[in-house]
Amino acid sequence: MIAIGCDHAGVEMKKAIIEALSLQGFEFMDMGTDGEPCDYPDVAASLCNEILAGHCEKGILICGTGIGMSIAANKFKGIRAALCSDSFSTRFTRLHNDANVMCMGARTLGQGLAIELAEIFLTTSFEGGRHQRRLDLITAIENKE
């Protein structure tokens, strides 16, 4: 299950991603919004809590630029959110960083590219190996070790 949420700027992009990737067998938990004005930190918090509770494997957050969502999501211990705007960075945020949340900007990306990036994010596996050591260092920082 993939959690997906947006503020009012990202409603159409969220719908397009769900429609396109559901055809490939992905299942989504829609965390809102459906168009009503809202505050992006609230959406990010709801989505991150679903991932941290183990109800969803990964998440997709969309706001106007994706920046606010990524800042809010990264406040949660155990969440590694990455702002994704191109295929190379999106692939490597999974391969090397094992990001569990991708953030995108509805005002900075077209829907076709957003769907392509979401597919890359959801189908790329973490390489592990030397990259795991670096994730362990990030976890140590989160735990203030």
| 51-99 confidence digits (pLDDT tens) | 999 999 999 999 999 999 999 999 999 999 999 999 999 999 999 999 9
pLDDT at 145: 76
CATH class (in words) of the domain with range 2-142: alpha beta
| 42-57 confidence digits (pLDDT tens) | 999 999 999 999 999 9
34 secondary structure, DSSP code: S
**pTM score, two decimals?**
0.97
Q: How far, in Å, CA of 105 to CA of 68, rounded? A: 9
55 among known catalytic residues: no
- Torsion sign, CA atoms 41, 47, 53, 59: negative
Q: How far, in Å, CA of 94 to CA of 9, rounded? A: 25
| 114-126 confidence digits (pLDDT tens) | 999 999 999 999 9
8 among known catalytic residues: no
- Which of the residues 63, 84, 103, 131 is marked catalytic? 63
Percent of the chain with pLDDT over 90: 99
| 10-28 confidence digits (pLDDT tens) | 999 999 999 999 999 999 9
pLDDT at 39: 96
Q: How far, in Å, CA of 105 to CA of 66, rounded? A: 4
89 SS3 class? helix
What's the mean pLDDT in 104-112? 98
